[in-house]
Amino acid sequence: MLKLPANLRLRTKFLVSLVLIISGLTCTTLLVVRHTAWVQIQREIAEDARGSLLIFEMLRGQQHMTLTRSADLVAALPSVMALMITGDAETTQNSTEYLLHSANADLLALADSSGKIIALHTTLPEIPVDVAEITLRQWRSQGNTAGWWVSGGHIFQVALQPIVSGAPPNTRSLGTVIVGREINVRAAHDLSRICSSQVVFRHGSNVLVSSLSSLDLEELKHQLSGPLPPEQIRIGKKQFFTRSIELSPGGYPGTTLILLKSYTQALAYLERLNRLLLALGLIAVFAACLICFVISDTFTRPLENLVQGVRAVELGDFTYPLESRGGDEVAEVTGAFARMRGTLQSNEAKRQQLEDQLRQSQKMEALGRLAGGVAHDFNNLLTVIKGHCDLILERLDPADPSHSGSQQIRKAADRAVVLTRQLLAFSRSQVLQPRVLDLNALIGEMDKLLPRLIREDIEFVFRQGVPLGRVKADPGQVEQVILNLTVNACDAMPQGGKLTIETRNVTVDAEYASTRPTIQQGSYVMLATTDTGHGMDAETKARIFEPFFTTKEKGKGTGLGLATVYGVVKQSGGFIWVDSVVAKGTCFEIYLPHIDAPVDSSVLETPTAPISTRAETVLVVEDELEVRDLASEFLRSAGYMVLTACNGTEALALVKLTNKKIDLLLTDVVMPKMRGTELAQRLKAARPRLKVLYMSGYPEQHEGTDEFFEEQFIQKPFSRQLLLNKIGEALRRERVGSVTQTTPNLDFVKRSGKLILPN
Please answer whether residues 489 and 531 qualify as being in contact, where contact means their C-beta atoms are separated by less than 8 angstroms.
Answer: yes
Name the phi and psi angles at 410, rounded to 5. -65, -40
Rounded CA separation 426/343 (Å): 38
Which residues are CB-neighbours of 315 under 8 A, at least 6 positions away? none
Other C-beta atoms closer than 10 Å to the C-beta of 508 total 18
More confident position, 212 or 12: 212
Q: What is the Cβ-side half-sphere exposure of residue 670, based on CA atoms within 13 angstroms?
A: 17
Selection from 701, 630, 687 nearest residue 656 by Cα: 687
CB atoms within 10 A of CB 404: 11
DSSP string covering 159-199: EEEEEEES-TTS-EEEEEEEEEEE--HHHHHHHHHHHTSEE
Short-list 86, 64, 123, CA closest to 109:
123
Residue 224: exposure state from Cβ atoms within 10 A (0-12, 13-18, ≥19): buried
Q: What is the pLDDT of residues 21-41, one digit of tens each?
A: 877 888 888 788 878 887 888
Q: Tell me, what's the pLDDT at 586?
A: 95
Helix (H) or strand (E) segment spanning residue 503? strand 497-508
Write down the pLDDT at residue 419.
63
Give the global pTM: 0.38
Tell me the per-residue pLDDT of 223-232, one tens digit each, with 9 for 90 and over: 777 777 888 8
Comparison of pLDDT for 492 and 308, the residue scoring more: 492
**Residues 537 and 582 sit within 8 Å (Cβ to Cβ):** yes
| The pLDDT of residue 751 | 31
pLDDT at residue 705, rounded to an integer: 44
Number of other residues whose CB lies within 10 A of the CB of residue 51? 15
Write out pLDDT tens, residues 379-417: 777 777 877 777 787 777 777 777 777 777 777 776 666
Q: Which stretch, 249-258, 713-722, 740-749, has highest mean pLDDT?
A: 713-722
> What pLDDT score was predicted for residue 471?
94
Minimum mean pLDDT range among 65-69, 612-616, 667-671, 753-757? 753-757
What pLDDT shows up at residue 756?
Answer: 32
pLDDT at 672: 87
Which residue, among 535, 540, 565, has the nearest Cα to 550 in the 3D structure?
A: 540
Which residue in 266, 277, 276 sits closest to 41, CA to CA?
Answer: 266
Lowest mean pLDDT of 425-429, 521-525, 614-618, 661-665, name the range: 425-429
